[in-house]
Structure 1
Amino acid sequence: MGPPPYPDLGKRAKDVFNKGYHFGLLKLDCKTKTSGGVQFNTGGTSNQESGKVHGSLETKYTVKEYGITFTEKWTTENTLGTEVSIQDQILKGLKLGGQISFCPQTGYKSAKLISAFQNARVAMNFDIDLDQNGPNILGSAVVAHQGWLAGYQAGFDANQSKLTKSNFALGFATNEFVLHTSVEDGQTFGGSIYQKLSPKLETGINLAWSAGSHNTKFGIGAKFDLDADAAVRAKVDNACQVGLGYQQRLREGVTLTLSALIDGKNFNNGGHKVGLALELEA
């Protein structure tokens, strides 16, 4: 296994805090695959607080012998998106592709060129966003050596000729332990620790500090597998926000997730959020 792309650094700790929680939402996801290899991903969410409903339909087809993948997506905001990519054909580990999105109601159009390369030592990404305001370039690289991971990400606005992102990350990863630290634009400092204490128990610690506001954020989370079909999750941060989650596989391809966010500082005043998600796969 090579190093992950820059956005995936510290992902295992992020999953402990983010996966399995759908606060204030009613969510439905459905994944199916035809005998011809076409994948359909349909999803919808309803925000209980705002009442807004969002839905999407995505189709994906891969021509394995040529390494080409076609993806099309439509959302309830009436946005149409198409992506074409080719992988491992020109060079092993190299992915090239392009994305186009269009909103007929507003006439907004955007295009994006994407490229990525990954092997046992390095993971590189280079994207060019060709929107109406001018091209934006985003590049990153992650190198690995004996478990150590070092990465850098930079963004550049060609229209204004200025650097929009300058992020650095350093960490150490094994199969059961991940340490991740990062600096974003020299202003936000973050760190996380992931540890798999047993085959059933995963834990995570997250820390962030902003130089501009001097705000510190701290959180602890855990996931425990009750058995092969059920898991419970819990997390708490320094603002006394307590998150609880329960996930149950009802049958093959059907998973139900219940979650709740409790405001510990204002427990008697209400304002707590609950969420429900149903995932179907066939």
Structure 2
Amino acid sequence: MSIPAFADISKSANDLLNKDFYHLSAGTIEVKSNTPNNVAFKVTGKSSHEKATSGAIEGKYTDKSLGNSTTIIPPEQTVEVYTRKRRRESSPTAWLGPIKAPKWPLSFSIFLSQYSSQLLMRYRRAGLVLTQTWNTANALDTKVEITDAIAKGLKAESIFSFLPATQQKGVKLNLTFKQSAFHGRAFFDLLKGPTANVDAVIGHEGFLAGASAGYDVQKAAVTGYSAAVGYIAPQYSAAVTATDNLSVFAASYYHKVNSQVEAGAKATWNSKSGSAVGLEVASKYRLDPVSFAKAKINDRGVAAISYNVLLRPGVTLGLGASFDTQKLEQATHKVGVSFTFES
């Protein structure tokens, strides 16, 4: 089982408690489409219960000439270079077939100098993804991702943001290094501070231990630190996290009872605010292969339910509602609907 990132140690429980509850927005619509030239578009629009609307459009380009993601192509395969070399005979070109090339970027120019012809390259270990986003706040974000190009298991992201109205700019660099028993990440904000946030998780036979810390270069001070331990098995998982400088403690549990039923719970205690412990439990029941229902309730008596159904291939409907069981006579309840279209 792969080692999760620090933020995902309790992912199974957090997803069960937080995902697919549609009451948080009055209405949500999401449209996803893919083009033949490897560009994926996603348009999202939301209407809040306060009648505010927001939206974003995202375009993601995957350069398949540089390679596919490692989840599709085994990372141990080497670079293949297909070349056609000009012959002296009357025949203009002839395919020589695949040739094992040095791994990028080592001796790449030397390798190319041996062939004075057109090249068709497919990188099986490296991948390039370009994502551009524009939202209703008039913020432009561009993200460039490169996977396995520098070293096996290393992913690098560069994120450039720009607000035309205020001329505000941002540049971030994120690094992720993942091996069989280790998962480390580093996040750098190069213009603000600069600041750095790093986290790491080690694991063995399902047992996990991780820590994170933030550092402000200009102030030369640690801005925060957290720690977590957990255990992950195919059917269940448990985790204990200590965040906000080890002042907020959370214990979570997730159990996949069978193919239809999932259950989870989370308890949270903030040592700075008192001795009260917050508790939240949730469950998910798959009604049939195309629909499921979820329900949760917390210690304050706020309950939420949701229903998700695949109406037809590419069209998903989500319905959700929340109720304050201690104030049923008051207008504190929320209802939301979500539509997702995908092609």
Q: Same fold (TM over 0.5)?
A: yes
What's the offset of the Cα at 1:72?
0.6
Equivalent residue for 1:142? 201
SS at match of 2:329: helix
SS at match of 2:300: coil
Equivalent in 128, 133, 140 of residue 80 of structure 1: 140
Equivalent in 259, 262, 270 of residue 331 of structure 2: 270
Moved over 3 A (4+): none
CA–CA distance in structure 1, aligned partners of residues 178 and 246 of structure 2: 27
Amino acid of the structure 2 residue aligned with 1:58: E
Equivalent residue for 2:88? none
CA–CA distance in structure 1, aligned partners of residues 225 and 150 of structure 2: 30
TM-score w.r.t. structure 1 length?
Answer: 0.97
CA offset digits 1:228-248 (Å, max 9, x no partner)? 011010000000000100111
Superposition pairs for residues 179-190 of structure 1, below 5 Å?
Answer: 179-184=238-243, 185-190=245-250
What's the offset of the Cα at 1:97?
2.1
Matched, 1:225 2:226: no
Q: Mark the runs of 5 or more structure 2 residues left unpaired by the alignment.
A: 68-122
Matched, 1:116 2:179: no
Equivalent residue for 1:39? 40
Query: Larger Cα Rg: Structure 1 or Structure 2?
Result: 2
SS at match of 1:268: coil
CA–CA distance in structure 1, aligned partners of residues 136 and 222 of structure 2: 34
CA–CA distance in structure 2, aligned partners of residues 191 and 69 of structure 1: 36
Amino acid of the structure 2 residue aligned with 1:171: G
Equivalent residue for 1:154? 213
Equivalent residue for 2:93? none
CA–CA distance in structure 2, aligned partners of residues 165 and 8 of structure 1: 18
CA–CA distance in structure 2, aligned partners of residues 181 and 124 of structure 1: 19
CA offset digits 1:47-105 (Å, max 9, x no partner)? 02x21111011111112234111111101000000011210122111011211100001
Matched, 1:206 2:266: yes
What's the offset of the Cα at 1:270?
2.2
CA–CA distance in structure 1, aligned partners of residues 150 and 222 of structure 2: 31
CA–CA distance in structure 2, aligned partners of residues 193 and 163 of structure 1: 31
Q: Which moved more, 1:57-66 or 1:174-183?
A: 57-66
Equivalent in 206, 227, 234 of residue 175 of structure 1: 234
Change in Cα spacing, 1:83 to 1:145, as seen in structure 2 (3 Å) is same
Equivalent residue for 2:28? 27
SS at match of 1:20: coil
CA offset digits 1:164-219 (Å, max 9, x no partner)? 22100000001111001011112100010000001110111011000000242101
What's the offset of the Cα at 1:107?
1.6
Superposition pairs for residues 235-254 of structure 1, below 5 Å?
Answer: 235-254=296-315
CA–CA distance in structure 2, aligned partners of residues 225 and 210 of structure 1: 34
SS at match of 1:125: strand
Amino acid of the structure 1 residue aligned with 2:29: L
More strand by share: 1
The number of residues matched between the two structures is 280
Superposition pairs for residues 33-112 of structure 1, below 5 Å?
Answer: 33-48=34-49, 50-63=50-63, 64=67, 65=123, 66-112=126-172
Matched, 1:9 2:9: yes
SS at match of 2:13: helix
CA–CA distance in structure 2, aligned partners of residues 34 and 233 of structure 1: 34
TM-score w.r.t. structure 2 length?
Answer: 0.80
CA–CA distance in structure 1, aligned partners of residues 175 and 24 of structure 2: 36
SS at match of 1:270: coil
Q: Mark the runs of 5 or more structure 1 residues left unpaired by the alignment.
A: none
RMSD: 1.0
Q: What is the percent sequence identity of the aligned residues?
A: 31
Amino acid of the structure 2 residue aligned with 1:240: G
What's the offset of the Cα at 1:30?
1.0
What's the offset of the Cα at 1:24?
4.3
SS at match of 1:239: coil
CA–CA distance in structure 2, aligned partners of residues 2 and 93 of structure 1: 12
Equivalent residue for 1:163? 222
CA offset digits 1:97-145 (Å, max 9, x no partner)? 21110000112111101110112100000111123x4211000000110
Amino acid of the structure 2 residue aligned with 1:4: P
CA–CA distance in structure 2, aligned partners of residues 57 and 99 of structure 1: 16
